[in-house]
Amino acid sequence: MLIDKRSIPQVSNIEMNMIHADEVDIVNQLYDTLKSGDIKESNRLFEEFLKSVEEHFFEEEQMMLEGRYWARAMHKSEHDTMREKLHNLYENWKKNKNPQEVIEFLEKEYAPWLNLHISRWDAETAMHIGDTA
C-alpha cells in the first residue's frame, strides 16, 4: 500500500472526496503490482491510473469553471505540472518497463504531492465552490 486512505485530507465537497478515494485505491493497486514484479498487470494498472488522474483533474477544473473560482488558473497549473511529470514517467515506462523507477516516483513525488495538493488547493477550492455533488 502506498497511501493509507485515512491519511487523505477531507474537503468540504463530497464529489472531490470520492474522486480522491477512488484514485488512492487505483494507485495502491498499481504500487503493489509494481512491487510484485508483474509487468503486464502493472502496465494495465498504470494506464488505469493515468485515466483516473485525468478524470480527477478534469472534474475539478470543470467545477472551478462552473463555480467561477478566482484562483482556478493557479490550481490548474499544479495539475498541469503533475500531468507532465506523469506523462514523462509513462514514456520512460513504455521504453524501459522499470518498476523501480515508477515505485520511486510514486513514493517520493506523487504521494506527498497528492496530500499537499489536497490540503492547499482542493480544500480551498471546495470551500469556494461549495458542495456540488
List contacts with Fe ion (CB under 5 A): 60, 122
CB 16, min distance to Fe ion, A: 6
Distance CA(126)–CA(63), nearest Å, equals: 9
If the CB atoms of residues 60 and 110 are measured against Fe ion, the closer one turns out to be 60
Between 78 and 101, CB nearer to Fe ion:
78
b/e per residue 4-28 (b: at least 16 CB within 10 A): eeeebeebebeebbebbeebbebbb
Distance between CA atoms of residues 39 and 94, nearest Å: 11
Contacts of residue 53, Cβ cutoff 8 Å, sequence gap at least 6: 23, 82, 83, 86
CB 92, min distance to Fe ion, A:
24
Give the nearer residue to Fe ion in terms of CB position, either 75 or 99. 75
Cβ-proximal residue to Fe ion, closest one: 122
Nearer to Fe ion, 15 or 41 (CB): 15
CA 117 from centroid of its chain's CA atoms? 9
Compute the least distance from the CB of residue 60 to Fe ion, in Å.
5
Q: How far is the CB of 121 from Fe ion (least distance, A)?
A: 5
